[in-house]
């Protein structure tokens, strides 16, 4: 197994990359990941940054997971803070094109960057994110991973839509593409880091 220092380094880079990927999808304005539909909806409703909204939903998710018996680890809290900063920072730096071609390019970049970041975060086995903690807490009660994950994402999507979140074609691509992509990338990344994830293709 890779050293803890190496895995933590990969984790920190990956979690930062995820934030920039989210920012790219928001700037593309073609739809974001289901959980970010809620964050954009909160940002739009209350006039705050998407990264700031991600902090709020992260705290709520961690509190729920803790109440269900899954205590957040330091990496969970740190990761949530870093993602919020990188989303807000990315949105401050990225352009917001109005022409379709560059918007599609931003969407594609955002998707690839987020998938790479998720692969790195999960493969390091340093600590689950807030939503993953909620998922694991429900799984502890005997529910299957796919049903729990679909239920969480559908709930977040519906709440986000009710608040006017940024759903679109990017949301659909993320929802249906993430599983197959991670099925390819996670086993390779976990083998390289020596973490030997037992359910890499199902996360």
Radius of gyration of the chain (CA): 16
- Residue 195's pLDDT is what? 83
Q: Which two tokens stand for residue 147?
A: 């049903």
Please state the separation of Cα 190 from the chain's center in Å. Answer: 18
Q: With 60 as the cut, is the pLDDT of residue 202 above it?
A: no
Mean pLDDT, residues 12-27 = 95
Compute, in degrees rounded to 10, the torsion defined by CA atoms 47, 51, 56, 61: 140
Q: Domains of the chain: which residue ranges? A: 4-202
Global pTM value: 0.86
Cβ proximity of 62 and 80 under 8 Å: yes
CA–CA gap between residue 2 and residue 195 (Å, rounded): 8
CA–CA gap between residue 150 and residue 148 (Å, rounded): 6
Please state the separation of Cα 36 from the chain's center in Å. Answer: 8
> Which helix (H) or strand (E) covers residue 181, if one does?
helix 169-193
Quick: pLDDT tens for 124-137. Answer: 888 778 888 888 88
DSSP E strands in 45-168: the ranges are none
Beta carbons within 8 Å of 48's beta carbon, 6+ residues apart = 42
Quick: pLDDT tens for 36-94. Answer: 999 999 999 999 999 999 999 999 999 999 999 988 888 889 999 999 999 999 999 99
């Amino acid at each position: 197994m890779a050293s803890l220092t190496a895995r933590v380094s990969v984790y920190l880079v990956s979690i930062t990359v995820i934030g920039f990927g989210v920012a790219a999808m928001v700037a593309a304005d073609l739809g974001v990941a289901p959980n970010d539909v809620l964050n954009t909806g909160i940002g739009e409703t209350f006039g705050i940054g998407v990264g700031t909204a991600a902090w709020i939903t992260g705290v709520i998710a961690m509190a729920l997971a803790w109440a269900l018996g899954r205590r957040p680890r330091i990496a969970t809290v740190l990761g949530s803070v870093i993602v919020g900063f990188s989303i807000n920072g990315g949105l401050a730096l990225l352009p917001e094109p109005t022409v379709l071609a560059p918007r599609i390019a931003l969407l594609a970049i955002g998707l690839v960057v987020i998938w790479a970041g998720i692969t790195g975060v999960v493969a390091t086995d340093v600590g689950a994110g807030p939503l993953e903690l909620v998922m694991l807490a429900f799984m502890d009660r005997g529910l299957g991973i796919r049903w729990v994950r679909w239920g969480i994402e559908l709930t977040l999507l519906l709440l986000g839509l009710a608040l006017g979140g940024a759903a679109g074609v990017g949301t659909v691509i993320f929802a249906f593409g993430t599983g197959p992509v991670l099925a390819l990338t996670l086993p390779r990344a976990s083998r390289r880091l020596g973490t030997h994830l037992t359910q890499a293709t199902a996360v």
